A = this chain, B = another copy of it.
């Protein structure tokens, strides 16, 4: 196998979930395409390096600073949804259910992995609170041990500063029959039951 081919396979195999075999298949596929295809794909990958920045307000990855969401005048600036990752912003935006802004923590508190609050973008969130930007923090960290711990930590931090702190409701997902719902979701649904 020639060197550029081996090189390309090695690079493609760096992607998570793409092994040597898949990388080989992708590389040979690229060789069969018109030359423009490799250039266009390479440019797309490079764009992630050169075209993306962090929004200095919400810490989301974005093509501009401030990001389009923080720059939008028609969004509720005081209602801040706090998420672990940029892709969570995309998921919540896709739902259309949030009309405020975001704050991307870049992870969750995880003592086992050595991730403490200082490793997250908590300082940036505090700065927003101190500038009086945040009326309500909707904590949308994952419903797992790390996400719950992060939510509790943030609640203890933000409530004394006069911020209303809420957490996304967890329960049985819409469309799931109770018979087939996973145990933890049923437990959460019972805990979070509402008066009718």
Contacts and interface: CB of A to CB of B under 8 A. Distances in A.
Contact of A16 (B29, B46, B68, B86): B29
Interface in A22-44: 22, 24-31, 35, 37-44
A62 to B, nearest CB: 5
A87 B27 CA distance: 10
Stoichiometry (number of copies): 2
A47 B4 contact: yes
A28 B52 CA distance: 11
Interface string A57-70: 00001111001100
Q: Would you call the interface of chain A mostly helix, strand, loop, or mixed?
A: helix
Report the interface size class on chain A.
35 or more
B63 A41 contact: no
Residue among A15, A37, A62, A87 with the highest chain B CB neighbour number at 10 A = A15
B4 A63 contact: yes
Nearest to A37: B14
A49 interface: yes
Contact of A39 (B5, B49, B86): B49
Residue among A4, A25, A46 with the highest chain B CB neighbour number at 10 A = A4
